[in-house]
């Protein structure tokens, strides 16, 4: 595995690999099983695998501490090597943003719902850095986890609007054996909260079953999810939403693919989870 720190060298490498398929996994480091699932998928489907590790300052809001974001460079290198990464791109902030920018991407849709409501400007930062990274990596495929389904929807819009040849690949959420979505925030749960947190996935799968059984009214399904979470957990609900996917628009009757999404607060952690299902309640084989 080669470690590359400059844009020029990374572009030189990708130019030499232009006759091979390139699988690209953009990350902010502190790699965990969610990331390695993306890397493993890229390894299966691509000739060359590039992983970027870059903590992007543009996607941090004024109340989000960029400097305190967890970093463990040596561990990340070891994990990337273990999972067959060919090139690890680790630029500095100065390398990626060496001058006052002339252009910055503004995301107009798919951001004023779900987690985007409380993070204005976040997805502008995500989109801006991905424009850079897609050009630098010359990726054939770019791999993203569906746990952060809103981000995936925004990236889908970015790729379509700017006519990137890169194809987005959404990888299913990695879960614990009891269904809880894997997250670095799970360590902040108390023993009792950790047990309660499994009910989020149960609430989602109950909603999925309602759709399979023929329920088409999103209001009824949302209310059942809320009641279930309130009954079986001590968490405070941030949101429960059913929206079209990937457009993330409200829907009155479920007649197309939707995302069923929840976010809750426990005492020391905010957890998110979702299911993306067809109008009949089944998991689509392909989203994009």
Report if pTM > 0.85. yes
User: Residue 67: pLDDT above 90?
Assistant: no
The reply to whether 97 and 226 lie within a common domain is no
φ and ψ of 101, to 5 deg: -65, 140
Give me the CATH number covering residue 40.
Answer: 3.40.50.620
Among the candidates 144, 171, 198, a domain finishes at: 171
152 shares a domain with 258: no
Residues 88, 165 within the same domain: yes
Does any domain span residue 282? no
Report residue 219 as tokens: 């209001």
Q: Which domain covers residue 273, as residue numbers?
A: 184-277
**What is the spatial distance between Cα 86 and Cα 265, in angstroms, rounded to a whole number?**
39
**Residue 177 domain-assigned?**
no
Are residues 34 and 136 both part of a single domain? yes
Tell me, yes or no, whether 25 and 128 share the same domain.
yes
Kindly state whether residues 260 and 193 are assigned to the same domain. yes
pLDDT at 64 > cutoff 80 = no
* Structural domain contains residue 190: yes
Residues tagged active-site: 35
Provide the β-strand partners of residue 258. Answer: 244, 277
Number of domains observed in the structure of the chain: 2
Q: Please give the residue that has the higher pLDDT: either 244 or 100.
A: 244
Tell me the β-bridge partners of 274. Answer: 261
pLDDT value of residue 80: 97
Question: Does residue 262 have a pLDDT over 90?
Answer: yes
Of the candidates 195, 220, 193, 192, the residue with the CA atom closest to the CA atom of residue 206 = 220
Domain final position from 171, 198, 229: 171
Contact 224, 240 (CB under 8 A): no
Residues 161 and 240 in one domain: no
284 within domain boundaries:
no
Mean pLDDT of the chain: 94
Band the pLDDT of 96: cuts 50, 70, 90: very high
DSSP string computed for 243-268? EETTT--B-SS--S-EEEEEEEE-SS
Write out pLDDT tens, residues 6-60: 999 999 999 888 899 999 999 999 999 999 999 999 999 999 999 999 999 999 8
167/195 same-domain check: no
pLDDT tens-digit series, residues 206-240: 999 999 999 999 999 999 999 999 999 999 999 99
Residue at 288 is within a domain: no
- CA 202 to chain centroid: 21
Residues 167 and 242 in one domain: no
Q: Answer whether residue 63 shows pLDDT above 80.
A: no
The reply to whether 31 falls in a domain is yes
Res 100: pLDDT: 83
Based on the domain organization, do 73 and 150 belong to the same domain? yes
Please indicate if the annotation marks 122 as binding a ligand.
Answer: no
| Spatial separation of the C-alpha atoms in residues 278 and 116, rounded to whole Å | 23
Please state, in angstroms and as integers, the Cα–Cα distance from residue 206 to each residue in 107, 171, 253, following that order. Answer: 33, 22, 18
- Ligand-binding site membership of 184 (annotated): yes
pLDDT at 184 over 80: no
264 and 226 in one domain? yes
**Residue 174 known to bind ligand:** yes
- Is 90 annotated in a binding site? The answer is no
CB 73 within 8 A of CB 50: no
Let me know if residue 286 belongs to a domain: no
Confidence at residue 243, expressed as pLDDT on a 0 to 100 scale: 98
- 211: DSSP letter: H
User: Is 59 marked as binding a ligand?
Assistant: yes
User: Residue 79 falls within a domain, yes or no?
Assistant: yes
Checking if the pLDDT of 186 tops 90, the result is no
The domain that holds 231 is classified in CATH as 3.30.1300.10
| DSSP string over 97-142 | S-S--S------SS-SSGGGGGSTTHHHHHHHHHHHHHHHHT-SEE
Would you say 29 is a known binding-site residue?
yes
Of the residues 147, 171, 195, which one is the last residue of a structural domain? 171
pLDDT band at 170 (very low <50, low <70, confident <90, very high): very high
Q: How many residues in total does the chain contain?
A: 288
One domain, residues 199 and 141? no
């Amino acid at each position: 595995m080669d470690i590359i720190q400059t844009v020029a060298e990374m572009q030189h490498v990708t130019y030499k690999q232009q006759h091979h398929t390139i699988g690209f996994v953009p990350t902010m480091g502190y790699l965990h099983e969610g990331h390695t699932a993306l890397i493993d998928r890229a390894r299966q489907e691509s000739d060359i695998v590039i992983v970027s590790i870059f903590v992007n300052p543009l996607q941090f809001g004024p109340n989000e501490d960029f400097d305190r974001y967890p970093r463990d460079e040596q561990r990340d290198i070891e994990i990337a090597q273990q999972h067959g990464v060919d090139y690890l791109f680790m630029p500095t902030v100065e390398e990626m943003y060496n001058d006052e920018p002339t252009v910055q991407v503004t995301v107009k849709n798919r951001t004023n719902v779900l987690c985007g409501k409380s993070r204005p400007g976040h997805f502008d930062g995500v989109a801006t850095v991905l424009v850079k990274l897609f050009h630098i990596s010359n990726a054939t495929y770019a791999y993203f986890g569906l746990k952060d389904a809103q981000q995936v929807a925004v990236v889908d819009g970015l790729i379509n609007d700017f006519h990137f040849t890169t194809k987005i690949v959404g990888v299913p959420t990695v879960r614990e054996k009891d269904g809880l979505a894997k997250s670095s925030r799970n360590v902040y749960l108390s023993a009792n909260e950790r047990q309660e947190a499994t009910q989020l996935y149960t609430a989602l799968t109950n909603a999925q079953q309602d759709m399979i059984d023929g329920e088409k009214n999103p209001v009824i399904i949302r209310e059942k999810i809320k009641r279930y979470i309130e009954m079986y957990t001590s968490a405070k609900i941030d949101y429960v939403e059913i929206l079209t996917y990937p457009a993330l628009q409200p829907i009155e009757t479920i007649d197309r693919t939707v995302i069923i999404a929840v976010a809750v607060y426990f005492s020391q952690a905010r957890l998110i989870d979702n299911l993306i299902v067809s109008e009949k309640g089944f998991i689509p084989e392909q989203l994009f």
